[in-house]
Structure 1
Amino acid sequence: MGEQKQGSIPVLPWMRDPVDVSLCQEFPVDHVPCLDSRLKVALQNMGISELFPVQVVVWQEIVGPGNFERDLCINSPTGSGKTLAYALPIVQTLSTRVVKCLRALVVLPTRDLALQVKEVFDEIASAVGLSVGLAVGQSSIADEISQLVTVPEYEAGSICYVPEDISLRLQRGFQSKVDILVATPGRLMDHINTTKGFTLEHLQYLVVDETDRLLREAYQSWLPTVLELTHYDDENISPLANSCLPYTFGPLRTRRTCGVERGFKGKPYPRIAKMVLSATLTQDPSKLSQLDLHHPLFLKAGKTRYQLPVNLESYQLICESNLKPLYLVGLLQTLGQEQCIVFTKSVVSTHRLCVLVNFFTSLQIKIREYSSLQRQSVRSKTLKAFRKGDFQVLVSSDAMTRGMDVEGIRNVINYDMPKYIKTYIHRAGRTARAGQTGRCFTLLRKDEARQFKKLLQKADNSSCCEHSVPSSVIEPLQPTYESALKKLKETVPRTPKKLKVGFKFSKGRNHENETKYT
């Protein structure tokens, strides 16, 4: 109902006429209306003197005249400042809170991205006395609980439980230690289901970052659970909860209290204000409807659905398949000491390629790998070292494609051509961020060139130049390459691409998944 079709793609009515944020100009922090002076100092300490266009528009809609009367749906390129776009106004609006409780929830698909977003919140929230929590499974759930919830003494020996009744969740004595929570969906559900005293009843803001990925996977039905826990009416309230709790504790009554505090006086059931964001936002009505958006306002940078960074230069490098590692090494050599991220198609390819390239000792470039095969602590340590400039080249699987921000990355290399334009956009978006320039190189076989051109046309980009590595660079590397291949074969045996993960059921019989090798 109410949908319009553009070609074969159904479009929701509110997506037909987006607000083009690219028409807005950058705005000096000193002149941002209503911005708390403490936040101005925090931004200056972060080296931020101006807000980017998407940040200005979101500020106007939340703190300014918009007053967050509509939910925001934001489709903006990587590196355009989306994290600060929602973090700054949320911190500003919560800065006047009196009682500490969980009022803002930010959900992200990966631990690494959640850690990065929390760092942004920490830098500005601390300036106004707000606390930011993290729930990503990086530590034990008991450790997380100790950081999120104050447990009364008589409950100290039992901080986790299986919930039986809503009244048990709302016992007096429990108190949130955080105002803002950054979480991955799986660990969020762990706390919802098992953590005593953890509640979303005071929630005012819900941010769904990297929305298309979070909507593509169920993650234990986190979204319908969160929406259900933050929506109350007379029919759904437990009679026991109403009868045994004081005025300020029952779900209905707490929502009324929050409503007055938020400026919704006279409206007993204020909505949860939502922001959904992605550089490659889905337009699928069935997926977007899950968010239950309130009169959404669509903010978009540019006219096309897929946007690459403005200052990005795209290049393609044609080479024979069996010589791709050699051309990669040659390309890295021509780039010198500039920091670079090399993307591969899988975690196995990432490991093998990193080992292989490190056998080129004459390259004199420090190279490390980054993938989901590694422990979180290892990945965090590697990323920290990369940001410090301790090494020049990071070989990565797509674990790092979405949202990860490493300042000063000049080059991105697609060792394996991405299958989808979304993947290309997120990979390329690791460079040319925050108004800086950057280059994205893609290594291709001859038979992939045509497909790659079609891929870029989906982003309204056909200006991909040819790049070549001089033969004077390649030829001297040949002997080392042959030697490196032999060492790789001895060091890293071929690894199953897909491990045995279970059984497929067909016609009443069990069939093991076929094991394939790269």
Structure 2
Amino acid sequence: LLRSHPQLCALSHGRNSRAGDSGSESWSLLSSWGIGKADTCSVWFSLSLLTLLPCPLLSWKAPHYILGMSEARHDRVRRKYHVLVEGEGIPPPIKSFKEMKFPAAILRGLKKKGIQQPTPIQIQGIPTILSGRDMIGIAFTGSGKTLVFTLPVIMFCLEQEKRLPFSKREGPYGLIICPSRELARQTHGILEYYCRLLHEDSLPLLRCALCIGGMSVKEQMETIKHGVHMMVATPGRLMDLLQKKMVSLDICRYLALDEADRMIDMGFEGDIRTIFSYFKGQRQTLLFSATMPKKIQNFAKSALVKPITINVGRAGAASLDVIQEVEYVKEEAKMVYLLECLQKTPPPVLIFAEKKADVDAIHEYLLLKGVEAVAIHGGKDQEERTKAIEAFRDGKKDVLVATDVASKGLDFPAIQHVINYDMPEEIENYVHRIGRTGRSGNTGIATTFINKACDESVLMDLKALLLEAKQKVPPVLQVLHCGDETMLDIGGEGRGCAFCGGLGHRITDCPKLEAMQTKQVSNIGRKDYLAHSSMDF
């Protein structure tokens, strides 16, 4: 060691001189950028942050024996469950909740709910999210999308709480945004259920806040003051709380947008982009949608980083577990025929109508005929809507009459029959409506009334949807000519409308695009004072 000491000193001196040279090079480079020595500390700090940013939210890894399996095996599993994936470095699909490494309390909770095996979207979606990747999830309604983003956020928050307990006014760490109050309340209930089971199993208590319109802000703030791990919110109320600095997203690292297509359609795109600006650090972003029109694709490109797209069935396709029956009924005969349709299946039954006035009229008529019915629409206050949904879900009422406010993701597992009193103006809404039945592998019936008042382009989309799902097409729709060039071949791409995803027309004849352009033209030169009127306070 003594003999080699001079050589070691010389080697050390050489390294120091090279470090000095590189240091002087760095100084000259910073000077050329116009950065003085006083600013240098902040520059080095910023550069060091860049190297620290890419980090997963969870220390989760798939089981070694699954990671060791070949890519050919993973592809076989995806083909078996009809799962299409796009992206780089896709995590392997996992076919059981136990292999996903969920705690025993969550596994017991799933079993209690009758959930034995993950659905196709869960097989690929949950491992993707647990791996820390941004994701776009496209699946027909009733496919189990909600568990795909609720179970991982619970795991993320549980690990954070174990590392360092949340203090007062801290959080949320995970944020879920929903288009309607009812869907937000339902999602919050699912989170509370699994958090309670974990706490009963001697694990830390995870707190979840619900921030929606129609509820007292004071009541919501009481929960937030104690520190929250997760928050479920509607865009309007969340914007209000962020602007008033009552909620902070400084430590939020997980964002899930449920029913994103509905939120964009409702005019919340600007609000959601504003919410993005309140995030201080790197976040994992998840976007879930039953349909994927062009507008949503563009939004996803700008909001997500190298996302993995998981598609179970064509975006905008109807569930194959729903038997679709389309019947021509004159306007004046609808109410009487409605009673006849109610006899097809035992309760509970869900009836959709486009207008609030129609919902009230149907509700009143059913009550007069002795049917146990409740009604919800945007004109009713929050307490009334909540009580109606709870009574229907608990089996105290047999029929729920609603506008499309109840079509956005609400889960009523026992529903065997959905009746569309009228055909919605957009085919996307039709897909959401009939998706309330035939959920989680069960079979359901959807009856739709059509007549001369229906828009022809929507009827052509409906015809194409029925053909795609191999359903019976009524004579009144058979006479409509869609043209081979507009129809989407099963498994084909690039056909139908590129804007709204409808199969029965091209983008040149898209009624939705035309309506949007007309609205934009009418607003030219006029200040939009009602820009935030859609906010769900």
- State the TM-score, normalizing by the size of structure 1: 0.68
Paired residue secondary structure (1:413): strand
Structure 1 residues 465, 338: CA separation in 2 closer, same or farther (over 3 Å shift)? farther
**Residues 445-499 of structure 1: per-residue CA shift (max 9 Å, x gap):** 26759766522244323523559xxxxxxxxxxxxxxxxxxxxxxxxxxxxxxxx
Aligned-partner residue type, residue 356 of structure 1:
Y
Task: Indicate which of 154, 158, 161 corresponds to 1:91.
Answer: 154
Task: Indicate which of 431, 435, 441 corresponds to 2:441.
Answer: 435
Determine if contact 1:346/1:398 at 8 Å carries over to the other structure.
no
Determine if contact 1:370/1:379 at 8 Å carries over to the other structure.
yes
What residue is the counterpart of 1:379 in the other structure?
Answer: 385
Written as runs of structure 1 = structure 2, the 5 A alignment for 1:342-357 is 342-357=351-366
1:38 paired with 2:77, answer: no
Unaligned runs of 5+ in 2: 1-77, 84-92, 476-521, 527-537
Structure 1 residues 188, 220: CA separation in 2 closer, same or farther (over 3 Å shift)? farther
Task: Indicate which of 136, 158, 161 corresponds to 1:73.
Answer: 136
Determine if contact 1:339/1:410 at 8 Å carries over to the other structure.
yes
Aligned-partner residue type, residue 288 of structure 2:
L
Paired residue secondary structure (1:229): coil
What residue is the counterpart of 1:463 in the other structure?
Answer: 471
Aligned-partner residue type, residue 53 of structure 1:
P
What residue is the counterpart of 1:200 in the other structure?
Answer: 249
Paired residue secondary structure (2:175): strand
What residue is the counterpart of 2:316 in the other structure?
Answer: 306
Determine if contact 2:321/2:438 at 8 Å carries over to the other structure.
yes
What residue is the counterpart of 1:488 in the other structure?
Answer: none
Task: Indicate which of 404, 426, 431 corresponds to 1:420.
Answer: 426
1:135 paired with 2:211, answer: yes
Deviation at 1:115, TM superposition (A): 0.1
Deviation at 1:300, TM superposition (A): 0.6
What residue is the counterpart of 2:181 in the other structure?
Answer: 111
Written as runs of structure 1 = structure 2, the 5 A alignment for 1:65-464 is 67-68=131-132, 70-97=133-160, 98-100=164-166, 101-126=171-196, 127=198, 128=203, 129-150=205-226, 177-196=227-246, 198-219=247-268, 221-231=270-280, 271-284=282-295, 287-288=298-299, 291-302=302-313, 304-332=314-342, 334-335=343-344, 337-361=346-370, 365-445=371-451, 448=454, 453-459=459-465, 460-461=468-469, 463-464=471-472
**Residues 63-112 of structure 1: per-residue CA shift (max 9 Å, x gap):** 2xxx22x3100111100011111111121232122232321000111111
Aligned-partner residue type, residue 316 of structure 1:
V
| Matched pairs, number | 379
Structure 1 residues 55, 289: CA separation in 2 closer, same or farther (over 3 Å shift)? closer
Paired residue secondary structure (2:294): coil
Determine if contact 2:129/2:135 at 8 Å carries over to the other structure.
no
Determine if contact 1:410/1:439 at 8 Å carries over to the other structure.
yes
**Residues 235-291 of structure 1: per-residue CA shift (max 9 Å, x gap):** xxxxxxxxxxxxxxxxxxxx5xxxxxxxxxxxxxxx210000011133337741575
Q: Percent identity?
A: 24
**Residues 493-514 of structure 1: per-residue CA shift (max 9 Å, x gap):** xxxxxxxxxxx99999xxxxxx
Partners of 2:269 and 2:311 lie apart in 1 by 30
Deviation at 1:214, TM superposition (A): 2.0
Aligned-partner residue type, residue 405 of structure 2:
A
What residue is the counterpart of 1:50 in the other structure?
Answer: 117
Aligned-partner residue type, residue 49 of structure 1:
Q
**Residues 345-382 of structure 1: per-residue CA shift (max 9 Å, x gap):** 11111001211233234xxx312212112111111111
Paired residue secondary structure (2:447): strand
Partners of 1:275 and 1:426 lie apart in 2 by 20
Q: Which has the higher contact order (CA 8 A, sep 6+)?
A: 1
Determine if contact 2:179/2:263 at 8 Å carries over to the other structure.
yes
Determine if contact 2:352/2:404 at 8 Å carries over to the other structure.
yes
Structure 1 residues 278, 322: CA separation in 2 closer, same or farther (over 3 Å shift)? same
Partners of 1:401 and 1:21 lie apart in 2 by 30
Partners of 2:523 and 2:259 lie apart in 1 by 33
Paired residue secondary structure (1:299): strand
Determine if contact 2:179/2:408 at 8 Å carries over to the other structure.
no
Aligned-partner residue type, residue 469 of structure 2:
N
Unaligned runs of 5+ in 1: 1-18, 151-176, 232-254, 256-270, 468-503, 509-518
Per residue, is there more strand in 1 or in 2?
Answer: 1
